[in-house]
Amino acid sequence: MTVLFASDLDQTLIYSRNSMGMEVTEEELVEVERYEGKPLSFMTKKSQSALWNIGDSAFFLPVTTRTQAQYERVTGIFEGQHPQFAVISNGAVILENGHPIKEWSDQIRQTCINRKTIIEELLPEIERHFSEDWVLKVREADDWFVYLIIDRARFPEDKLDFYTTTFKKLGWGLSLQGRKLYFMPESITKAGAMEYIKKRIGANYVVAAGDSLLDLDLLESANYGMLAAHGEAAKNAVSISAHIHKTKNYGIKAGEEILARVAELSLQRQ
């Protein structure tokens, strides 16, 4: 039996200083991403070795909203060889041996055009609703989606439901993660790209892990889901299916818990 372990990266397997929590010592940590000469993301050593060893019993598929350049900075999630496939840009792009699968992205692009969920249509709407001074930057991710860098302290959290409803009508899903507010076309999903890989490798059991609202479709379409307790999705108390399990731990220790559980599940299914 082939087990596919499809996992989000940020705040699920890897953690910044701000998101890792307090229950970890410096000695436990290992740097997994460097940006502009500085360490940016970490795992615990225990997590890293668990992840490196998962390859013996499961097929590891990174599934991230990071763009290709952002994904390629994360060098600590594999030992030696890169993962054969990686889902990036939230599912709009699939890398095979480091190169985007063109047919996949072409098909996603066409769906976005048909549904008018392209950046050119979105930007005027963002301008209309988000001219406030807590919007620090508007960033476009490789032509696929948009995220705002916001001043979280000044962001009116009580208006989030209104924004979510407004943009849902236009075909965009919202996700608030730390200082970033994402606007994602509804046809760009992590689940869709995972299903494609599941077929390609002939997997028959999927374990998925994540923390944000953008991970929920991935977890829903898996056989076994793990939701990090500290994340946006768990906090929003959205209704989740019985096969999705919330971690007991928070922060970087939730990452450890997820990897230990995945190792157990894949061994059971060998």
SS3 call for 6: strand
Nearer to Mg ion, 8 or 33 (CB): 8
Q: Are 137 and 149 in contact (CB under 8 A)?
A: yes
Q: Are 48 and 256 in contact (CB under 8 A)?
A: no
Select the span of 33-41, 122-130, 178-186, 209-217 touching Mg ion (CB under 5 A): 209-217
Across 81-98, b (16+ Cβ under 10 Å) vs e yields eebebbbbbbbbbbbeee
Q: Which amino acid is it at 95?
A: L
**CB 69, min distance to Mg ion, A:** 18
Of 4, 63, 90, 211, the residue at the interface with Mg ion (CB under 5 A) is: 211
Nearer to Mg ion, 57 or 206 (CB): 206
Q: How far apart are CA 164 and CA 81, in angstroms?
A: 40
Nearer to Mg ion, 8 or 257 (CB): 8
Nearer to Mg ion, 11 or 90 (CB): 11
Nearer to Mg ion, 57 or 209 (CB): 209
Asked if residue 256 binds Mg ion (CB under 5 A), the reply is no
Which strands make up the sheet holding 180-185, listed edge to edge? 135-141, 145-150, 180-185, 172-177
Largest CA distance in the chain: 54
Asked if residue 217 binds Mg ion (CB under 5 A), the reply is no
Task: Map residues 11-50 to x or -, x wherever contact with Mg ion holds by CB under 5 A.
Answer: x---------------------------------------
Of 4, 8, 167, 190, the residue at the interface with Mg ion (CB under 5 A) is: 8
Asked if residue 10 binds Mg ion (CB under 5 A), the reply is yes
Place of tokens 């590891």: 60
* Binding region for Mg ion (CB under 5 A): 8, 10-11, 211-212
